[in-house]
Amino acid sequence: MKNIIKYLMISIAFLAVGCDSFLDEQPVHKLTLENSVIDFNGAKNVLNGMYSTIQAKYWGGGVSIPLSTQAGLYDGEAYYYQMAYTQGNEKTYDVWRSYYKGVNAANAAIEGLEKLSVEKYPLESVKTEMLAEAKCYRAWCFINIFWLYGHWWAEPTDEYGILFRTQMANLANIQKARLNVGQSYIEILKDLDFAIKGAKSFTESKFLSKEAAQMIKAKLLLRRAWEGDHKEALSLVQDIKDNAPSSFEMEVDMGEMYKNGWDSKEVLWARYLESNSGSGSNGSTDFEYSYGIIYNNKYKATADEWLKEDPRYDVVMGEVEAPEPWDNRIMVGPVKLCHGGRDEDPDAKYTSYFLRYAELLLMESELILRTNGTVTDALIPLNEMRTVRTNPVLPALTASSKEELMDILFKEIFVEQFLENGSEYYASLRFLKDGKPWIYTLKPDVNFGTDQWCWPIPDAEIVNNPEMIQNSGLK
């Protein structure tokens, strides 16, 4: 019982405290929502309190760096490269816990917003819009849990789906079985479709929007790849391009885009860290970006070659002051993410670029190919992305075959987005080289199968929730 109570308190700890001035609001969190969401201010506070969970360190470099290592592109911790993780691994548990805090916060918001009478809102449409944000946030959390800990690539009847919760965690519901793969997709897509229909259009990347929900769904369908998925995903991507507000567009200067971080007009949805303190360990400056990649700016041979031969290298890499105050060395690192280092530049906009315009165009090119479009048509959005840039200048690309362009796109996904949001890992699983996923070409020295494509369910969940089954082939 003590273990269950400890685990439960970790899951709902965010409800017992306020979060500091997130988006200039002071969220009010109580264990009893009826005491806090009694008017429109309470509704706004519970929604802003939900967004505050994004500041956890494991929504950033703590996930994207391990995933790039798993792809065989970044030279990170060996157990990620070897895919030798176990259910007792503390870091994968921290990620699990972080995303379920987000789920719990979203469920708190949804419950509070739904129970508040519509007369308490300025307009009925405002209630719908706020609920759409909360459901999109919940979907985002579950999608990442699914991608990290479930068989997202498998058939609908596969039993290794998500642990799906629509209520705040308590002693009565802590023990629960996971859904199968098909049911997992059904539940996630319900939330996304509600958000697409009801959310407001994009204003700034600190908030989820209709366009963000559309792009999240497109990414989900692209990776799932069931019959009809790629056609629907392409339609979503092209609808965003045609109808999104003009404030969402490519930046001509790549360096300025990264300097602006979540305020860049190219960024649709990003991790917002508010005011940074330089500590790096509690979600202010991202520890892995402000510390880890400065001291470990290492890439596997193929990735290192791709980065250094590309015109973007001189913009995204640069000199950085060592992150420890006693260390006066000047080091080379990916300044797009580590900026000046946490000691020298603690208030830089350290972020994870969950969704940005460049990725939208990369997705469009790939989806055109995967829906039997021509190489000529698929090159158009790819070169649109490249030719917009003036810093650096990127020449237009050509390809003579679908296979050649697929190789170009895989490389482009890595060079354009490396270490930002894990895109290179999932691309290494769906792009083929010599008839097998690219990951096998990048890691010929590692013996692994599809069971290792995801992480094991953490020990704390297995111990305290007897209904939870471990992923096949993992322990």
DSSP secondary structure letters along 179-227? P-HHHHHHHHHHHHHHHHHHSPPPS-TTS--HHHHHHHHHHHHHHH--T
Least confident of 44-48, 320-324, 331-335: 320-324
Query: Where does the pLDDT of residue 329 fall: very low under 50, low under 70, confident under 90, or very high at 90 and above?
Result: very high
Query: Where does the pLDDT of residue 33 fall: very low under 50, low under 70, confident under 90, or very high at 90 and above?
Result: low
The pLDDT of residue 29 is above 60: no
Q: Residue 159: what pLDDT?
A: 98
Least confident of 112-116, 283-287, 343-347: 283-287
> Dihedral through CA 425, CA 428, CA 431, CA 434, nearest 10?
180
Q: Residue 475: what pLDDT?
A: 84
- Per-residue pLDDT averaged across 322-348, rounded? 88
Length of the chain: 475
Q: Convert the pLDDT of each residue in 421-431 to its tens digit.
A: 999 999 999 99
For residues 203 and 447, give the distance between their C-alpha atoms in angstroms, rounded to a whole number. 46
Q: Is 454 helix (H, G, I), strand (E, B) or coil?
A: coil
The pLDDT of residue 18 is above 60: no
Half-sphere exposure of 246 (CA within 13 A, CB side): 0
Q: Please report whether residue 257 resides in a domain.
A: no
Query: Where does the pLDDT of residue 9 fall: very low under 50, low under 70, confident under 90, or very high at 90 and above?
Result: very low
Taken in order 303, 308, 311, 317, the sign of the CA dihedral is: positive
The proportion of the chain whose per-residue pLDDT surpasses 90, expressed as a percent, equals 81
Q: How many CB atoms lie within 10 A of CB 363?
A: 23
Q: Please report whether residue 158 resides in a domain.
A: yes
The pLDDT of residue 24 is above 80: no
Q: Residue 36: what pLDDT?
A: 81
Query: Where does the pLDDT of residue 370 fall: very low under 50, low under 70, confident under 90, or very high at 90 and above?
Result: very high
Q: Please report whether residue 69 resides in a domain.
A: yes
- Per-residue pLDDT averaged across 201-230, rounded? 98
The pLDDT of residue 436 is above 90: yes
- Per-residue pLDDT averaged across 148-164, rounded? 98
- Per-residue pLDDT averaged across 90-98, rounded? 93
Containing structural domain, residue 145: 2-223+453-464
Between residues 286 and 172, the one the model is more confident about = 286
Structure tokens belonging to residue 65? 């760096």
- Per-residue pLDDT averaged across 111-127, rounded? 96
Q: Please report whether residue 43 resides in a domain.
A: yes
For residues 48 and 34, give the distance between their C-alpha atoms in angstroms, rounded to a whole number. 17
The proportion of the chain whose per-residue pLDDT surpasses 70, expressed as a percent, equals 90
Q: Please report whether residue 104 resides in a domain.
A: yes
Q: Residue 438: what pLDDT?
A: 98
The pLDDT of residue 229 is above 50: yes
Q: Residue 347: what pLDDT?
A: 83
Least confident of 54-68, 190-204, 295-309, 336-350: 336-350
The pLDDT of residue 261 is above 90: yes
Query: Where does the pLDDT of residue 32 fall: very low under 50, low under 70, confident under 90, or very high at 90 and above?
Result: low
Question: Residues near 69 by Cβ (< 8 Å), separated by ≥ 6?
Answer: 75, 76, 77, 80, 81
- Per-residue pLDDT averaged across 226-244, rounded? 98
Q: Residue 5: what pLDDT?
A: 33
The pLDDT mean for the chain works out to 90
Q: Please report whether residue 60 resides in a domain.
A: yes
- Per-residue pLDDT averaged across 99-123, rounded? 96
Query: Where does the pLDDT of residue 34 fall: very low under 50, low under 70, confident under 90, or very high at 90 and above?
Result: low
- Per-residue pLDDT averaged across 18-37, rounded? 48
The pLDDT of residue 12 is above 50: no
Q: Please report whether residue 70 resides in a domain.
A: yes
Q: Please report whether residue 21 resides in a domain.
A: yes
CATH number at residue 71: 1.25.40.390
Number of structural domains the chain divides into: 1
